[in-house]
Structure 1
Amino acid sequence: MFEKILLPTDGSKNSEKAIEYALSIIDKKESEIIILNVVDSVYLTGLPEEDLITKSELILEEESKKVTKHVEDIIKNLEKEKGIDASKLTLTPMTLEGNAADVILKVSENENIDLIVIASSGKHMLDRFLLGSVTEKTVRHTKVPILVIPNK
């Protein structure tokens, strides 16, 4: 039923919970999971030196690559643990820059996503009390089905 799933992740434990759900609902035929990590470097624009901005952006991009690699590793481990046949599953890591919710919405449209699987909140402590701002904006504005995984 769902052949192309978008899995936004920020590397938090909460976002890791969405991985297992995404694996459990993939189509048994050929499927793709796009692992999306968004680097939000908007706060860097106030930094005084161009070199500092560039170095900070490189650090953020490197961390983002680590996050997507970590998700790929978790998926491979879950395949073994749960006996999931992932021979027809394509994992596509994607790192983009911008506002996380805006990027998620744009990717979901541009990539013809069938379903977005996202955690209800991410890394920020305030998110423990509220639906995460990224998730909330995505839910409000998406044009594709979305599955929100609650924090437990």
Structure 2
Amino acid sequence: MYKKILLPTDGSKYANKAAEHAIWIASESCAEIIVLNVVETSSLVGLPAEDLIVKITEMLKEEGKLAIEHIVEIAEDSPTEAKCEKTIKITSKTKEGSPAEAILKTIEEEDIDLVVMGTSGKHGLDRFLLGSVTEKVVRSAGCPVLAVH
């Protein structure tokens, strides 16, 4: 039923729980998983030193890389049925910008069939201050979205 599943991750426990669901669905439908980490750089714009912005961005990218690697480890450790002739294909992507916008753009660019994402990220306050990324994706995505809590 699904050919491409988008799994946004920020390394939070909710993203890791979503990964378990995405991996199971992918193993049942022989789908590819695209793991996406979005480095939100908008909050760095007002910082005084350019080199500080570059260093923080690199740190955030490294944190995102670790989050993606953790998802790959979860997939490798997951017992999957032998329904598919091959192992689950996992592709990783990192983007910069607004998480909701980057997720929605990736849905269109990659012709995503299903998004599986956590209900909350690492920064719970974002939900009250900016509106939930998950909520924005659920309201605007052109495909089904599974929100995992």
CA contact (8 A) 1:6 1:33 kept: yes
Output the CA distance in 2 between the equivalents of 1:127 and 1:21: 24
Alignment length, in residue pairs?
145
Identify unmatched segments of 5+ residues in structure 2.
Answer: none
The within-5 A match list for 1:68-87 is 68-78=68-78, 82-85=79-82, 87=86
84-93 vs 105-114, greater mean Cα deviation: 84-93
- Across the aligned residues of Structure 1 and Structure 2, the Cα RMSD in angstroms comes to 2.0
CA contact (8 A) 2:40 2:97 kept: yes
CA contact (8 A) 2:27 2:88 kept: no
The within-5 A match list for 1:50-69 is 50-69=50-69
Q: Does 1:33 align with 2:53?
A: no
Task: Output the amino acid matched with 1:103.
Answer: A
What is the aligned partner in structure 2 of residue 43 from structure 1? 43
The residue matched to 1:43 in structure 2 has which SS?
helix
**Which whole-Å deviations, capped at 9, do the CAs of 1:74-94 have from their partners, x for residues lacking one?**
11111xxx2444724210011
The residue matched to 1:89 in structure 2 has which SS?
coil
Taking structure 2 as the reference length, what is the TM-score of the superposition? 0.88
Output the CA distance in 2 between the equivalents of 1:102 and 1:147: 17
CA contact (8 A) 1:8 1:104 kept: yes
Taking structure 1 as the reference length, what is the TM-score of the superposition? 0.87
Output the CA distance in 1 between the equivalents of 2:80 and 2:51: 48
The within-5 A match list for 1:115-134 is 115-126=114-125, 133-134=132-133
Output the CA distance in 2 between the equivalents of 1:137 and 1:58: 26
CA contact (8 A) 1:37 1:64 kept: yes
Task: Output the amino acid matched with 1:104.
Answer: I
CA contact (8 A) 1:29 1:88 kept: no
Q: Does 1:140 align with 2:139?
A: yes
Change (3 A) 1:83 1:144: closer
- Once the two structures are TM-superposed, the CA of residue 29 in structure 1 deviates from its matched residue by 6.2
